């Protein structure tokens, strides 16, 4: 029986345990496309899954990896054919459905998108699910009619995974970008991504007085 290398998380008496194993191909879950995975990322959720620090894994054994990029090996879907380059983000992969920390993944064709032109698999996964999330946030702003002319955009957690991509995307979309960070030593990095101003998280700290929100709303200091 064919097997491939994978990280597998098994349930144990004390929680769960991750190990690098030979995974039997027959144990892959249902799906109409099988992908030879070439790249994945380390998302915060993957850290939680592998360390068992939070119960993000809903099925055992589990292969973690909430995203991957790779090449279609076989497909029963008219949407994809062998050799196509594809990307997957989310859909419960790595939590409920066997994920991307493996040489192979079998998934529903609906969950896959073609690798965008101009990106290779490594670049797509460097952007990763964190970058994808940042783009969803920008698209949500656009959907709600928010435009750069309405004022600056503040990105909190700016030096983090989602935040840093959000800074770059917002700048590219024409916003005046204010990056809020707890790590002012990352100012050069954030300016390099497109931040116009840096605010330290401390700027938001201080004693909160009773009814402060109501006072602000009424224009009282």
Does the footprint of ligand NAP cover residue 160 (CB under 6 A)?
yes
State the Cα angle at 46 between 110 and 71, rounded to 5°.
Answer: 40
Q: Which is nearer to ligand NAP, 146 or 154 (CB)?
A: 154
Contact letters (x/-) for ligand NAP, 90-129, by CB under 6 A?
A: ---------------------------------------x
In angstroms, what is the minimal distance from the CB of 160 to ligand NAP? 2
In angstroms, what is the minimal distance from the CB of 169 to ligand NAP? 13
Q: In what order do the strands lie in the sheet with 197-200?
A: 153-155, 177-181, 197-200
Footprint of ligand NAP on residues 188-217 (CB under 6 A)?
201
In angstroms, what is the minimal distance from the CB of 82 to ligand NAP? 29
Rounded Cα distance between 198 and 205, Å, is 15
Does the footprint of ligand NAP cover residue 61 (CB under 6 A)?
no
Rounded Cα distance between 212 and 219, Å, is 10
Q: Which is nearer to ligand NAP, 63 or 167 (CB)?
A: 167
Using CB under 6 A, which of 44, 61, 77, 79 touches ligand NAP? 44
SS3 7: strand
Q: Which is nearer to ligand NAP, 34 or 181 (CB)?
A: 181
Using CB under 6 A, which of 63, 161, 167, 195 touches ligand NAP? 161
HEC per residue, 60-84: CCECCCCEEEEEEEEECCCCCCCCC
CA dihedral for 5, 7, 12, 14, sign (positive or negative):
positive
The string over 88-99, giving b where at least 16 C-beta atoms fall within 10 Å of a residue's C-beta and e elsewhere, is bbebebbbebbb
Residue whose CB is nearest to ligand NAP in the complex, by number: 160
Give the other-Cβ count within 10 Å of 203's Cβ. Answer: 9
Q: Give the binding site for ligand NAP (CB under 6 A).
A: 43-44, 129-130, 133, 156-163, 181-183, 201
């Amino acid at each position: 029986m064919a097997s491939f290398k994978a990280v597998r998380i098994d349930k144990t008496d004390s929680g769960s345990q991750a190990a690098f194993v030979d995974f039997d191909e027959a144990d892959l879950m249902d799906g109409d496309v099988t992908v030879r995975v070439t790249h994945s990322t380390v998302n915060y959720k993957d850290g939680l899954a592998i360390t068992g620090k939070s119960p993000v894994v809903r099925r055992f054994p589990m292969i973690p990896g909430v995203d991957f990029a790779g090449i279609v090996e076989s497909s029963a879907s008219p949407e994809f054919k062998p050799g196509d380059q594809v990307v997957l983000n989310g859909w419960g992969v790595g939590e409920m459905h066997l994920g991307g920390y493996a040489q192979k993944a079998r998934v529903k064709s609906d969950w896959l998108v073609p690798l965008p032109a101009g990106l290779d698999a490594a670049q797509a996964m460097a952007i990763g699910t964190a970058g994808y999330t940042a783009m969803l946030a920008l698209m949500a702003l656009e959907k709600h009619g928010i435009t750069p002319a309405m004022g600056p955009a503040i990105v909190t957690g700016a030096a983090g995974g989602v935040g840093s991509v959000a800074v770059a995307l917002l700048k590219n979309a024409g916003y005046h970008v204010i990056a809020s960070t707890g790590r002012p030593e990352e100012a050069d990095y954030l300016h390099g991504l497109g931040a116009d101003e840096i605010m330290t998280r401390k700027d938001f700290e201080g004693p909160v007085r009773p009814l402060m929100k109501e006072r602000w709303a009424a224009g009282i200091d």
